[in-house]
Amino acid sequence: MTVVTGGPRPQEDHSPRERTREEDVATSQDDGHPGSHYNRIRQSIVSGQAGPGTVLIPTVLSTQYNVSRTPVREALIRLEQDGLVERATRGYVVRTRTPEEILEICEARIALESSAAQAAAIRRTELDLARLVHVHESTAATKDPAELRELNHLWHVALREAGHNTTIAELMDRLDAQLKVYDSHTAPATDLPDNLSLILEEHAGILDAVRRRDAGAARDRMIAHQSRTRDLRIGALARSGRAAH
């Protein structure tokens, strides 16, 4: 189990609390609004910087960020509710998921995303469609893997917007974050060129169904698309799991 509590610490600083403005700016891109620590810690988890099993201790984080435990605790409570961290005897731990749990998350995603596709076919506006086409074409014109992953994500976000169901969109955001934690393991498989062209084909198919307002086809194609992605993900996870043994 990794027992890192974050990036490199600025310096050992045991003074009670110096509200030096310079230091604040230096150690953080804190915009100052309440709850910003939540986003910061969340980002470090989702980005994989603080991978599964990483121990997060309020005291340590608070000295790192040069704030008191109170706002850090608030952030960790929210992250716990998000399913990204869980309570340990001491502090919190970035949640470790078994392949079975990853499969469960994928199953929930398929249910919600196919429902969103169905809704998009029914409720999409012309603007929604134009946005979707735009992102799709940008994706087709890109070669950089990181940018492709981002555009792929944006396409799905645009589709959920076209579905006009914020409840589903929010739940998907949460599930996306839970899976993103494992991207470092699964990315190699999903970044393969032949997968990328398959993704584009599948997106095009769904897009076409949404254009034609064919809700059933949109749903079925999304199920197929997400199921294939799931299998790829699980396969990569199984391989990296075996490799870790």
Binding site for a copy of itself (CB under 8 A): 70, 73-74, 77-78, 81-83, 101, 104-105, 107-108, 110-112, 114-115, 119, 165-168, 170-171, 175
Q: 204 CB contacts (<8 Å, ≥6 apart)? A: 136
Give the one residue of 2, 7, 81, 90 binding DNA; rule: CB under 7 A: 90
Half-sphere exposure at residue 89, Cβ-oriented, CA atoms within 13 angstroms: 0
DSSP letter assigned to residue 49: S
Asked if residue 74 binds DNA (CB under 7 A), the reply is: yes
Q: Which is nearer to a copy of itself, 111 or 232 (CB)?
A: 111
Smallest gap from residue 20 Cβ to a copy of itself (A): 27
Smallest gap from residue 115 Cβ to a copy of itself (A): 4
Smallest gap from residue 72 Cβ to DNA (A): 8
d(CA 228, CA 237) in angstroms, rounded, equals 14
Applying CB under 7 A, which part among 69-77, 131-139, 193-201, 202-210 lies near DNA?
Answer: 69-77
Asked if residue 58 binds DNA (CB under 7 A), the reply is: yes
Helical (H) or strand (E) element with 172: helix 166-180
114 binds, among DNA, a copy of itself, none (CB under 5 to 8 A by kind): a copy of itself
Beta bridge partners of 87: 92
Q: Which is nearer to DNA, 68 or 125 (CB)?
A: 68
What the block records as the tokens of 232 is: 């790829």
Applying CB under 7 A, which part among 71-79, 115-123, 189-197, 218-226 lies near DNA?
Answer: 71-79
Q: Which is nearer to DNA, 90 or 153 (CB)?
A: 90
Smallest gap from residue 59 Cβ to DNA (A): 4
Smallest gap from residue 165 Cβ to a copy of itself (A): 5
Give the one residue of 9, 87, 134, 153 binding DNA; rule: CB under 7 A: 87
Burial class (CB in 10 A: 0-12, 13-18, 19+), 126: exposed
Given a contact cutoff of 8 angstroms between Cβ atoms, the answer to whether 59 and 21 are in contact is no
d(CA 220, CA 169) in angstroms, rounded, equals 19
If DSSP states are collapsed to H, E and C, what string results for 81-114? HCCCEEECCCCEEECCCCHHHHHHHHHHHHHHHH
- Strands of the sheet with 55-56, listed across from one edge: 55-56, 92-94, 85-87
Q: Which is nearer to DNA, 72 or 207 (CB)?
A: 72
Contact set with DNA (CB under 7 A): 16-17, 34, 57-60, 62, 67-71, 73-74, 87, 89-92
